[in-house]
């Protein structure tokens, strides 16, 4: 069971079979567990730590006390003063025996992270073939940071592509969502080459702010971006219709690169940052990029993982905040120079 960080054996926190937001068409998204960034607004906090974690959602509790009785490390307690039925978990004592997960009837506990054999994943994805074919969909590797596990991913997508060819004579579309904080090697290049589309997150242009909000400076991320841009198989799409894979029938030689920025109020969604982002796009001759609007539901996920919530923001983007984008990218920009890809904005 014990995993820790193992580049050849990643855990998966979730498989979304039905995403319409992570690339063209209907896509199966694998969220790999583990990321080198520690963004304070992280939308998938359960995918930061590469190891197993215990999710404790006391809201679902029906007070059956099974967890209390069966915990190996005795990490549960009651508040005697208030005489509440509410059970408390001390994560410092918890040794991740996960007895509570198995015994709880109410899904108070869950294990974040599951290891899948490649064969298991391939079977599941094969069963969705028809949905990919009809919509130009495929799979998306997300996370966390999928490129922290190049060896595993390389093996996985090789087998997957081969199986799709054998069974359906179909070139499965693969999409990568990366935060850019990874080290290049041949396996990474193989993965990028065999993908159809890379969503590359660029968050904060100012390096010191980046360190403050994401835990590391942005130099590796920006360098990796330039390295990828210079790879011979990478292509910058000129218009959005190139991202429709429905007509894709021959093996794609190129991999499309689309930068993406999560819009986090007062962190990434500041006039300065958006201007700098625009400048960066111009410098690199990029026309199509994607903004991801802020989703406040993440903080709930952080709480049940026992993490401290460092960024307090409970509401969705306001109209005024969205207006910042329009101030920087005026209508002329959008008509002639840029296209903002809108999978949900």
Q: Per CB under 8 A, does 16 bind other proteins? A: yes
Q: Total residues at the site for other proteins (CB under 8 A)?
A: 23
Cβ at position 164, least distance to other proteins in Å? 16
CB 94 within 8 A of CB 67: no
CB 269 within 8 A of CB 263: yes
What's the CA dihedral at 37, 232, 289, 31 to 10 degrees?
-40
Cβ at position 123, least distance to other proteins in Å? 11
CB 136 within 8 A of CB 20: no
Instruction: Tell me which residue has tokens 């039905």.
Output: 18
In the window 28-67, what residues touch other proteins (CB under 8 A)? 62-64
Convert 188-209 to b/e letters by CB count within 10 Å (16 or more is b). Answer: bbebbebbbbbbbbbbbbeeeb
Q: Per CB under 8 A, does 91 bind other proteins? A: no
Q: How far apart (Å, rounded) are the C-alpha atoms in residues 273 and 243?
A: 27
Q: Per CB under 8 A, does 144 bind other proteins? A: no
In the window 110-129, what residues touch other proteins (CB under 8 A)? 127-128
In the window 62-81, what residues touch other proteins (CB under 8 A)? 62-64
From 3-11, 102-110, 115-123, 154-162, give the range in contact with other proteins by CB under 8 A. Answer: 102-110
Q: Per CB under 8 A, does 85 bind other proteins? A: no
Using the minimum distance from each CB to other proteins, give the nearer residue, 28 or 268: 28
Q: Per CB under 8 A, does 135 bind other proteins? A: yes
With both helix axes pointing from N to C terminus, report the angle between 271-283 and 319-328 in degrees, rounded to the nearest 10. 40
- Which of 80, 105, 250, 285 binds other proteins (CB under 8 A)? It is 105
Structure tokens at 324: 């910042």
Reduced to 3 states (helix: H, G, I; strand: E, B; else coil), residue 104 is coil
Q: Per CB under 8 A, does 231 bind other proteins? A: no
Binding site for other proteins (CB under 8 A): 16-18, 20, 25-26, 62-64, 105-107, 127-128, 130-131, 133-135, 137, 342, 344-345
């Amino acid at each position: 069971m014990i995993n820790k960080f193992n580049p050849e054996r990643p855990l998966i926190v979730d498989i979304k079979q039905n995403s319409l937001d992570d690339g063209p068409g209907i896509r199966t998204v694998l969220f790999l567990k583990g990321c080198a960034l520690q963004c304070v607004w992280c939308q998938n906090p359960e995918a930061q730590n590469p190891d197993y974690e215990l999710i404790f959602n006391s809201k679902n509790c029906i007070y059956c006390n099974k967890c209390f009785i069966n915990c190996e490390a005795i990490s549960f307690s009651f508040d005697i003063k208030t005489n509440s039925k509410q059970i408390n978990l001390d994560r410092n004592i918890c040794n991740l025996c996960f007895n509570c997960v198995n015994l709880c009837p109410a899904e108070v506990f869950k294990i974040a992270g599951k290891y899948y054999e490649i064969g298991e994943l391939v079977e599941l994805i094969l069963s969705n073939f028809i949905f990919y074919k009809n919509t130009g969909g495929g799979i998306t590797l997300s996370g966390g940071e999928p490129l922290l596990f190049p060896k595993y991913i390389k093996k996985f997508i090789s087998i997957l592509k081969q199986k799709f060819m054998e069974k359906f004579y179909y070139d499965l579309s693969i999409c990568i969502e990366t935060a850019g904080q990874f080290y290049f090697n041949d396996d990474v290049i193989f993965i990028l080459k065999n993908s159809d589309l890379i969503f590359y997150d660029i968050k904060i242009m100012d390096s010191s702010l980046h360190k403050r909000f994401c835990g590391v400076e942005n130099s590796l991320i920006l360098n990796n971006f330039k390295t990828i841009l210079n790879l011979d198989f990478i292509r910058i799409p000129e218009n959005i219709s190139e991202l429709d894979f429905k007509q894709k029938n021959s093996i794609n030689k190129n991999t499309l690169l689309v930068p993406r920025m999560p819009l986090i109020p007062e962190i990434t969604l500041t006039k300065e940052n958006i201007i700098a982002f625009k400048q960066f796009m111009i410098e690199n001759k990029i026309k199509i990029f994607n903004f991801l609007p802020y989703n406040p539901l993440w903080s709930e996920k952080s709480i049940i993982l026992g993490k401290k919530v460092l960024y307090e923001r409970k509401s969705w983007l306001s109209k005024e905040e969205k207006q910042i984008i329009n101030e920087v990218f005026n209508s002329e920009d959008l008509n002639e120079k840029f296209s903002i890809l809108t999978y949900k904005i």
